[in-house]
Structure 1
Amino acid sequence: MSILLSLVACEKAQEKVDKGVSLELAKERKSNIGGVSYRLYFSIPKEREEPIMAESEIFFELSELTPIVLDFKETEDKILAVTSGGKRVPYTFKNEHIIIQPEHLKEGRNELNIQFIAGESSLNRSEDLMYTLLVPDRCRTLMPCFDQPDIKARFKLTLKIPAGWQAIANGERIRVEYFNDYKLYEFGETKPLSTYLFAFSVGRFSYTERFMDNRWIGIYHRETDTAKINASIPEIARQVSHSLEWMERYTGIRYPFEVYNVVAIPAFQYGGMEHPGATFYKSSTLFLDRDADLTAQMKRSELIAHETAHMWFGDYVTMKWFNDVWLKEVFAGFMADKIIAQLYPEVNHQLNFFLNHYEPALRTDRTRGTHPILQELNNLKDAGTLYGDIIYHKAPIVMRMLEREISEYQLQMGLRKYLRRWSYSNADWDDLIHLLASSTGRDLETWNEIWIKESGAPVIEFGKDAIAMIDESGKKRVWPQAISIYWMSAGGRLYRQARVLKDTLTPFRNPGVILPDCDVSGYGCFLPTEYSVQFLSKELNQIGNPLYRAVAWQLLYEGVLNKKVKGEFFVKLCMKHLPHEKNNLVVNRTLSFLRTVYSTYLDEGGRQLLQEELERFCVNMIDNDAGNKKSYFNTLLTLYSSPKIGEFFKEVLNGERELAGLTVSDDDKIKIAFNLVLRDSNLYGGMEEHINGAIKNKDLLNHFAYVLPSVSGNKQVRDSVFSALLKNENRVNEVWVEESLRWLNHPRRRMEAEEYIPRMLDKLKEVQETGDIFFPSAWLSAGLSGHTSKNAYSMVNAFLEKHPNYPKNLKLKILSNSDHLRRLHAEERER
């Protein structure tokens, strides 16, 4: 009878295991499995082609004797042996899962030993560098495991690596043994971690450490520019230390893990990844030139603060399921904005918050591809599609609204309770919002429903007698909010007035509105009035508050997107007012608008009419604006057309022209080289030789060699590059792939590259299945952003019509990344 019951249980288990990790499977495992720990061994050979032999001892408690389902997204032949107590254990392998029958298990403590060949799809393996990247569900691509965030485990790792390499992992390094041609690294057992946070990296690294505020901070890197190293290392250590100390003060909880190591990785897919003990960062964001502008410096600080805040929000307390991935991201971003305020006391941090979040949030939220902050997720294999601007940028805006609603103190006290109650465990958004509602006595349900669970942003337009809140979905929803109106009376006096919007129409009689929400207390797509455009065209540079000037540029840009401001007019306003703007943050955001408007929202005739004047403007600003030279230099490099400017960049690249106060780094040289070749294909062969002689950093040279063919003047070469990108084995370095695809679809190649669009869209599902979390959007942006034709718009629509049952989240990404085509060519706006 027991054998029959066992067989029935096994058959039921097999019926339930779909590919990926379903929500149903995750709930069943969580209810039955606990006390998990992994003892892991990986033998990493020097030769990239050789397999990585591995072994895992998995310890776990079973509360009920049922079949065990382990996740392993690899072929069955990678499983070499499964044993328990020294005896082989039979198993079934189905749909990326290892299923073990109950008769080989017991209630209480269990131990399995699995010998296997490590999966490599998440190993980012190159000649002398390898690093794991296992978010959101990719630990199962590396090794057999319970790959869901609410089955936390302790990890103890041993690595065999080539001599001359170094190893970094979550745990503290406790032992290194040296042999002739290899080393053994042993790392101490970690605190409980979700599987997506397990990490290690091996390869040739330089290492330095700093003792700051009674703790050691280790920094691993591959940077070779001595000036960058000397300028950056002290700042990296100082800012990590500052971020840790600030988070400890705010939460009342000491840093909850053993060590903090910075690992700077060239061409890293993300800005950073918050692995405890081995926090990965994109090297180019950390290591800056000595004369890096304020925007670049703050970007580094925000990144460090963001990843450090994750140690509490995400690592210490983790969401139960990846539908709440926004929960860890919102507090990492929200805390980062607070952390850097002390590092930059001279900066207007309300301005910085606005620039960091409002336009990036609206970039998706104003499109038909938007989605709620809190999304649905039935299977972890689709978790990567949840990431994007909404969770990284709209969520912090909404959280700041909540903080104003319940008070800064109440939010802090509520978050302290949240962290203590679910320490080294898991909680979801409902847990937190109910805790906050209970501790404050506030009814937060209405706020929660519209801001967290609903998608989209209102369009807010000022009429003669009322403020209209327009829901472009047609549902007539209302987003309650307070806004601050900056307006001029009939007598010429300037006023600022608060107004609460609670309905689709709010009475307001004043035609002299300049800025609809000058203090950015609200959120939405604010449209300019005729009066505001006229006023700003004359007086924008006379507005004293840099936040108001930034809001003004956002308002005018929104006007371009909504066909209330002509693109040519916007570009001319930039050339008129930017010479008076000294705030680097405002300059950089405005120039990003300028580049987009010039490349996307002007026709070819409009660009030609403005080209010479725009080039002259940028050259003049490079010569005369000491604080913003690099910003104008990069804008000129992006937009130039004339042979004269081409000669200017050749001289800079060859070291024949020095620009006072502006460092031309190796990264800059590569960008210049690509832009020169794009405009003059005769430079191709000589440029390859020049860069190979001018740059010594091997990582940068590999990057250059990979991307260079995508700027070739020979269409056959470019076609072969594109065809290669369609093959998964050629998409290992996603940063390089994105850059290559962007050059292939550069505005200068628009017409010739249109034929790539259908094939690029056809590959999207595979890109999502095989790539990292940001890669689907990056793939679409690189493939579509350079196109502006009606034909390109028709191709996108034809693809969507041909695939009516296309995965929802991927369809939304297509709609979001093609929104500029809709704005250019749709017969009428959908309301």
Structure 2
Amino acid sequence: MPGTNLTREEAATRAALLDVASYAVELDLTTGEQTFGSTTTIRFTCREPGAATFADLVGATVHEIVLNGETVDPAAYADSRIALTGLAADNELVVRADCTYSRTGEGLHRFVDPADDRVYLYSQFEVPDARRVYTTFEQPDLKATFTFTVTAPAHWKVVSNAPTPAPEPVEGTESAVWRFPETERMSTYITALVAGEYHEVLDTYEGAHGTIPLGHYCRQSIKEQLDVDELVELTKQGFAFFEDAFDFPYPFGKYDQLYVPEYNMGAMENAGCVTFRDEYLPRSRQVHAFYEQRANTVLHEMAHMWFGDLVTMKWWDDLWLNESFAEWASHHAMVSATKYTEAWTGFTNARKNWAYRQDQLPSTHPIAADNHDLAAVEVNFDGITYAKGASTLKQLVAWVGIDEFLAGLREYFRAHQFANSEFGDLLAALERSSGRELDSWAREWLQTSGVNTLSAAFEVDEAGAFRSFAVQQSAAEAFPTIRRHRIGIGLYDLVEGRVVRRSVVETDVAGERTEVPELVGERQPDLVLLNDGDLTYAKIRLDERSLATAVEHVDAVEDSLARALLWGAAWDMTRDAEMSTKDFVALVLRGIGTETDLTAVSRLPLYARTAVNLYSDPAGRTELKATWERGLRGLLESADPGSDHQLAFARAYASAAHTDEGLDLVAALLDGSATVEGLTVDTDLRWTLLTALATHGRADEARIGEELSRDNTISGQERAAMARTVRPTAEAKAQAWRDAIERDDVPNETQRQIAYAFPTAGQEELLEPYLEKYLQMAETVWEERGTQRASTVLEYMFPMPLVSPATVERVQTWLEHSRANPAAKRYVREGLDDMQRALAAQERDRA
């Protein structure tokens, strides 16, 4: 039985049969707290009268199905599909049903704010979840227009893809009806509905193509956190940039941005009705890197209005292009049109490392993945789809030129507006604009897996100049593709205590060895940096002299992007067991205090924490943990008062503190008996400090409850759940397991926080019984809990602290014999690979 799955072949068959003209969707949000009324009228044509097909509807109680005026037997609705037979040339399908509100962030999510008991709803439909709210033909290439009619409490705000109409009161009730105008043609997955007691701020953008009404929305209890001036400025900068760069007016009339609770992802590009996780409206102080990432998300979703919404992929094989393009375009816009001019450095320090890790897992896949069905799509929202794809597009821009790239995009948007396309359509437009043959480039970059490694090979003469210079390229044995790369080669000298770039040469690398004659005769620098400018996607390795310079003088490298490449190379070498954990931690402590990129300042402690807890030699781990704690305390105490560095180091120190001395300071900062000049211990930092104490048994349930009474918000409840989970008791672990795995009434974001906190480093004895529990759970969790909950617990609750040869052997045996869902096995296999890396790194650290 197909259940909620849909294959590419089924979708192609249905698309060949049908053209969908319109949907009329009537939703009644006043029928109760568990369900809502949903009546859908679909008008469509059939190319083969008399044929059969099916419509999609998930988890509904169907009251009536009418096809072309004839009532259909309710038995036609089974297994999440409505069987439709005897189709006419022109058809009208009407389905009247009750659908269920979600607590998992899929479909129409319902949230009651504990701060004031106000109700908030929002939809999340990508990949296939519009069918949880109304009857659909759930595939991206059956575009249609949509007319939404919504009945809701009269005092609510109701927002959808089309401009919001004035509500019409329903006589004798406290309800009203919103009759939205018809939308442009779009796919089901980018339709949207947001409703509830939202706070609203309206504005307009006046651009070269006219006026765009703007709306910003959030919960009433956090309206003081809506920094609307900053967000409106960023929105207007984005529109000015994209309308000019794409030479195409914004296509959806108005633009609302809604910050919603318990959201599963960063944001979603619903046409004209973009939803964001409301953690992007911080209640406590955040470092610059937070706002840079938020800006990236805002502009990422805006780029989708053209690439994804205006022109939409035919099928999910081109999911990568949808996300990769938005990821590339957002960073390009940030650098070109906003104050975040160093955004590509942040990308290298964070997003690209995500891609490198994902691409070296056994679950790696080509950028253009073979998404043969919806089940495959749902596990491919990963670092390859987003960050590797964006890196590859950055390489393509370097390959063809930015002006030629944008010219191809403009042609593509004009040719395929409000329709569907495939990657070949874009490639053809880029070939015409650039004059370059790109089919072979696409094959080697998009249809293969794995990451190449670049290293310098050279000889130096008696005078210290290069006699020869070449770039060597290698690939993993399992993924042997050798690609073409456009790269920069930077020569850096140590001058009066600073590492400065003397010159850079751009060249095309092809094959296993590429000679670079331009460098012959150049004096050997202190540092040779391959991929200077970060034009391509490849791991880099440093020659002996360059590595020594990086290790001793990383804090003296003037260029932030060059430092990001060095940080990335060092972390990658540590993960590959080519650099010892002790050396990596020492490198971080040496360079992070003066690092100017705040993304690096936030991320490097996370990498180092993983290295300390998992990659270090167990025999020397106690000493290294003490070194890491002392080093962070020194950084905290020496940071400029009130600086972003100070806040980042306070957070990192809390997670590293484990000695009595360290935990005493954490406790004193929390209760106010100790202070650090310039450091404000606000709500979020209080939870960070308290969770650190709970991890080491110095905060019990009563203390956590006391803190929760100070912060009885949904964020407070989520942070309290995390603090309870990390307590070093068998009872705490058992309760966390029940809450994350067994209960159905735990909200999705709370479950995520519990799952993330569960495998706490240093609690191996408590976690020992959960290896078998985890493997037993993995057998059936995908079917029993669905995509969202299952993927969360499988990824986060893998028992990484139990790293050992015995654990590796047990998990390998399970993978060999288990009949679990392939998606579930993918997450287990990824956890196993991380564990095997940890073992290799421990061996290297032992040397």
TM-score over 0.5 (shorter chain): yes
Once the two structures are superposed, residues 30-89 of structure 1 have per-residue CA deviations (whole angstroms, 9 ceiling, x without a partner) of 1221143111122224753x42222111111222214443333546x7111112465423
2:442 is the counterpart of 1:448: yes
Q: Distance in 1 between matches of 2:747 and 2:247?
A: 42
User: What secondary structure sits across from 1:421 in the alignment?
Assistant: helix
Per-residue deviation, 1:475 = 5.5
Q: Distance in 2 between matches of 1:614 and 1:343?
A: 39
Whether the 8 Å contact between 2:704 and 2:724 is mirrored in structure 1 is no
Which residue does the alignment assign to 1:221? 218
Whether the 8 Å contact between 1:458 and 1:524 is mirrored in structure 2 is yes
Which residue does the alignment assign to 2:611? 597
Whether the 8 Å contact between 2:778 and 2:825 is mirrored in structure 1 is no
Which residue does the alignment assign to 2:487? 483
Per-residue deviation, 1:329 = 0.7
2:520 is the counterpart of 1:504: no
> % of aligned pairs identical?
20
User: What secondary structure sits across from 2:65 in the alignment?
Assistant: strand
Structure 1, 31-40 or 270-279: larger mean CA deviation: 31-40
Whether the 8 Å contact between 1:45 and 1:51 is mirrored in structure 2 is no
Which residue does the alignment assign to 2:22? 37
Whether the 8 Å contact between 2:755 and 2:793 is mirrored in structure 1 is no
Whether the 8 Å contact between 1:387 and 1:773 is mirrored in structure 2 is no
Q: Distance in 1 between matches of 2:541 and 2:776?
A: 36
Alignment of 1:183-194 (within 5 A): 183-194=176-187
Whether the 8 Å contact between 1:152 and 1:194 is mirrored in structure 2 is yes
CA gap of 1:707–1:293, structure 2 versus 1, over 3 A, is closer
The one-letter code of the counterpart of 2:300 is H
Which residue does the alignment assign to 1:209? 202
2:105 is the counterpart of 1:90: no
CA gap of 1:205–1:413, structure 2 versus 1, over 3 A, is same
Q: Report how many residues are paired.
A: 802
Q: Distance in 1 between matches of 2:111 and 2:204?
A: 32
Which residue does the alignment assign to 1:6? none
User: What secondary structure sits across from 2:124 in the alignment?
Assistant: coil
Whether the 8 Å contact between 2:767 and 2:799 is mirrored in structure 1 is no
Alignment of 1:143-542 (within 5 A): 143-178=134-169, 180-213=173-206, 214-222=211-219, 224=221, 228-229=225-226, 232-287=227-282, 289=284, 292-345=286-339, 347-462=341-456, 467-474=471-478, 476-486=480-490, 496-498=504-506, 500-506=508-514, 514-542=528-556
Q: Distance in 2 between matches of 1:635 and 1:699?
A: 24
User: What secondary structure sits across from 2:177 in the alignment?
Assistant: strand
2:1 is the counterpart of 1:20: no
Which residue does the alignment assign to 1:636? 653
Q: Which runs of 5+ in 2 are unaligned?
A: 113-118, 460-469
Once the two structures are superposed, residues 482-537 of structure 1 have per-residue CA deviations (whole angstroms, 9 ceiling, x without a partner) of 33344579999966444543222446897965433333233222234433332222
Whether the 8 Å contact between 1:330 and 1:399 is mirrored in structure 2 is yes
CA gap of 1:605–1:184, structure 2 versus 1, over 3 A, is farther
Q: Distance in 2 between matches of 1:223 and 1:594?
A: 39
Q: Distance in 1 between matches of 2:149 and 2:673?
A: 52
Q: Which runs of 5+ in 1 are unaligned?
A: 1-14
Q: Distance in 1 between matches of 2:686 and 2:515?
A: 56
Whether the 8 Å contact between 1:385 and 1:773 is mirrored in structure 2 is no
Per-residue deviation, 1:189 = 1.7
2:744 is the counterpart of 1:729: yes
RMSD: 3.1
CA gap of 1:704–1:357, structure 2 versus 1, over 3 A, is closer
Which residue does the alignment assign to 1:621? 635
Q: Distance in 1 between matches of 2:731 and 2:615?
A: 30
Whether the 8 Å contact between 2:251 and 2:306 is mirrored in structure 1 is yes
Q: Distance in 2 between matches of 1:731 and 1:327?
A: 35
CA gap of 1:495–1:154, structure 2 versus 1, over 3 A, is closer
Q: Distance in 2 between matches of 1:481 and 1:97?
A: 47
Which residue does the alignment assign to 1:695? 711
Whether the 8 Å contact between 1:132 and 1:201 is mirrored in structure 2 is yes
The one-letter code of the counterpart of 1:776 is S
Once the two structures are superposed, residues 8-38 of structure 1 have per-residue CA deviations (whole angstroms, 9 ceiling, x without a partner) of xxxxxxx9x7752222221122122114311
Which residue does the alignment assign to 2:115? none
Once the two structures are superposed, residues 375-401 of structure 1 have per-residue CA deviations (whole angstroms, 9 ceiling, x without a partner) of 112222432122100011011111111
The one-letter code of the counterpart of 1:44 is L
CA gap of 1:755–1:438, structure 2 versus 1, over 3 A, is farther
Which residue does the alignment assign to 2:665? 648
Whether the 8 Å contact between 2:287 and 2:647 is mirrored in structure 1 is yes
Which residue does the alignment assign to 2:462? none
Per-residue deviation, 1:346 = 6.9
CA gap of 1:55–1:660, structure 2 versus 1, over 3 A, is farther
Which residue does the alignment assign to 2:806? 791
Q: Distance in 2 between matches of 1:777 and 1:815?
A: 15
Q: Distance in 2 between matches of 1:677 and 1:495?
A: 52
Once the two structures are superposed, residues 293-325 of structure 1 have per-residue CA deviations (whole angstroms, 9 ceiling, x without a partner) of 221111111110001111111111110001111
Structure 1, 313-322 or 427-436: larger mean CA deviation: 427-436
Whether the 8 Å contact between 2:708 and 2:720 is mirrored in structure 1 is no
Once the two structures are superposed, residues 519-559 of structure 1 have per-residue CA deviations (whole angstroms, 9 ceiling, x without a partner) of 32332222344333322222222222122222222222222
Give the structure-2-normalised TM-score.
0.87
CA gap of 1:623–1:499, structure 2 versus 1, over 3 A, is same
CA gap of 1:200–1:657, structure 2 versus 1, over 3 A, is farther
Which residue does the alignment assign to 1:9? none
Alignment of 1:656-805 (within 5 A): 659-680=676-697, 682-692=699-709, 694-696=710-712, 698-704=713-719, 706-727=721-742, 729-730=744-745, 732-733=747-748, 735-764=749-778, 771=786, 776=791, 779-803=794-818
Structure 1, 199-208 or 737-746: larger mean CA deviation: 199-208
Whether the 8 Å contact between 1:236 and 1:286 is mirrored in structure 2 is no
Per-residue deviation, 1:755 = 3.3
Per-residue deviation, 1:417 = 1.2
Q: Distance in 2 between matches of 1:471 and 1:664?
A: 48
CA gap of 1:346–1:71, structure 2 versus 1, over 3 A, is closer
User: What secondary structure sits across from 2:215 in the alignment?
Assistant: strand
Whether the 8 Å contact between 1:674 and 1:708 is mirrored in structure 2 is yes
CA gap of 1:339–1:297, structure 2 versus 1, over 3 A, is same
The one-letter code of the counterpart of 1:34 is D
Which residue does the alignment assign to 2:88? 106
User: What secondary structure sits across from 2:447 in the alignment?
Assistant: coil
Q: Distance in 1 between matches of 2:676 and 2:191?
A: 45
CA gap of 1:737–1:560, structure 2 versus 1, over 3 A, is same
The one-letter code of the counterpart of 1:204 is E
Q: Distance in 2 between matches of 1:660 and 1:212?
A: 42
Q: Distance in 2 between matches of 1:226 and 1:195?
A: 31
Per-residue deviation, 1:577 = 2.7
Per-residue deviation, 1:426 = 0.6
Whether the 8 Å contact between 1:366 and 1:525 is mirrored in structure 2 is no
User: What secondary structure sits across from 1:41 in the alignment?
Assistant: strand
Once the two structures are superposed, residues 747-796 of structure 1 have per-residue CA deviations (whole angstroms, 9 ceiling, x without a partner) of 13234224334443554576556545697267414435555333333333
Q: Distance in 1 between matches of 2:144 and 2:677?
A: 54
Q: Distance in 2 between matches of 1:793 and 1:538?
A: 36
Once the two structures are superposed, residues 540-584 of structure 1 have per-residue CA deviations (whole angstroms, 9 ceiling, x without a partner) of 222221222222222222221222211112112222233333442
Whether the 8 Å contact between 1:46 and 1:162 is mirrored in structure 2 is no
Which residue does the alignment assign to 1:546? 560
Whether the 8 Å contact between 2:399 and 2:486 is mirrored in structure 1 is no
Which residue does the alignment assign to 1:5? none
Whether the 8 Å contact between 1:53 and 1:117 is mirrored in structure 2 is yes
Which residue does the alignment assign to 2:129? 138
Whether the 8 Å contact between 1:742 and 1:786 is mirrored in structure 2 is no
